Amino acid sequence: MTLSGKEKATIFLSMLGAETSSAILRYLPEELADLIASSISHLPTPTPEALGEVFDDFQSYVALPSAEKKINTKEPAENEASKLSFEADEEFAEDEEKDISNLSPKERLFSAASKKLALLLSGERPQIAAFMLSLFPATKKEEVLMEMVVNREIINNLLPNLKQTYLVEELKEKLTSHFVEKLR
């Protein structure tokens, strides 16, 4: 059973409850919010298969798969960013010769070549790439964006709209460490 995006949104919002759903709908364009709200009130009881499909989609957006899993499950021709990351490893092998062991994870990340960072971030979801780029100094951010091949426009549009939440500091630390490990 394949559900449309509207059906998935309707089922998902109905599971969240009225208060949470109305808070989310406030962020959508008025016409779309009205359409979804009216669909919720006319929603028949979803089948277990429909619920499973909605949960699978939700989980795929919340839980990011590891980079190794992405590379192993897709053909390089299917995933341009994966193909590019292989090229980055070969092209930037000489960068490993620099002694960066005495640098903090943040300094290691900021000192990486812009092209290598662009290829690494191109393999990530645009939201993650935008968040990581928001941590960089303005000039480095622009350099990395200019080198990006995949999702450059989407990421550039996300950058000014990032919201500050209580999770930002924890995310900064964990994602910085994660990407420094991927640079090795």
pTM to 2 decimals? 0.47
Q: How far apart are CA 70 and CA 85, in angstroms?
A: 11
Q: Could you please report the per-residue DSSP string of 13-50?
A: HHHH-HHHHHHHHTTS-HHHHHHHHHHHHTPPPPPHHH
| Other Cβ atoms closer than 10 A to 58 | 13
Are 179 and 89 found together in one domain? Answer: yes
Q: How far apart are CA 74 and CA 72, in angstroms?
A: 6
| The pLDDT of residue 163 is above 70 | yes
The pLDDT value given to residue 152: 87
Q: How far apart are CA 37 and CA 132, in angstroms?
A: 34
Counting beta carbons within 10 angstroms of the beta carbon of residue 48, is it exposed (0 to 12), middle (13 to 18) or buried (19 or more)?
exposed
Are 97 and 162 found together in one domain? Answer: yes
Are 31 and 119 found together in one domain? Answer: no
**Single residue among 62, 78, 93 that ends a domain in this structure:** 62
Domain enclosing residue 16, as ranges: 5-62
Are 177 and 101 found together in one domain? Answer: yes
Are 73 and 92 found together in one domain? Answer: yes
Are 58 and 146 found together in one domain? Answer: no
179-183-184 Cα angle (round to 5):
125
What CATH number is given to the structural domain containing 140? Answer: 1.10.220
To which residue do tokens 């006319």 refer? 42
Are 104 and 55 found together in one domain? Answer: no
Are 99 and 148 found together in one domain? Answer: yes
Are 131 and 148 found together in one domain? Answer: yes
Number of independent structural domains in the chain = 2
Q: How far apart are CA 114 and CA 116, in angstroms?
A: 5
**Mean pLDDT, the chain, as a whole number?**
76
Q: Could you please report the per-residue DSSP string of 116-164?
A: HHHHHHHTS-HHHHHHHHHTS-HHHHHHHHHH--SSHHHHHHHGGGPPP
pLDDT tens per residue, range 107-130: 888 888 888 898 888 888 888 889
Are 52 and 104 found together in one domain? Answer: no
The pLDDT value given to residue 97: 45
pLDDT band at 141 (very low <50, low <70, confident <90, very high): very high
pLDDT band at 95 (very low <50, low <70, confident <90, very high): very low
Are 151 and 97 found together in one domain? Answer: yes
Are 15 and 103 found together in one domain? Answer: no
The pLDDT value given to residue 142: 92
**Single residue among 62, 79, 101 that ends a domain in this structure:** 62
**Single residue among 62, 84, 101 that ends a domain in this structure:** 62
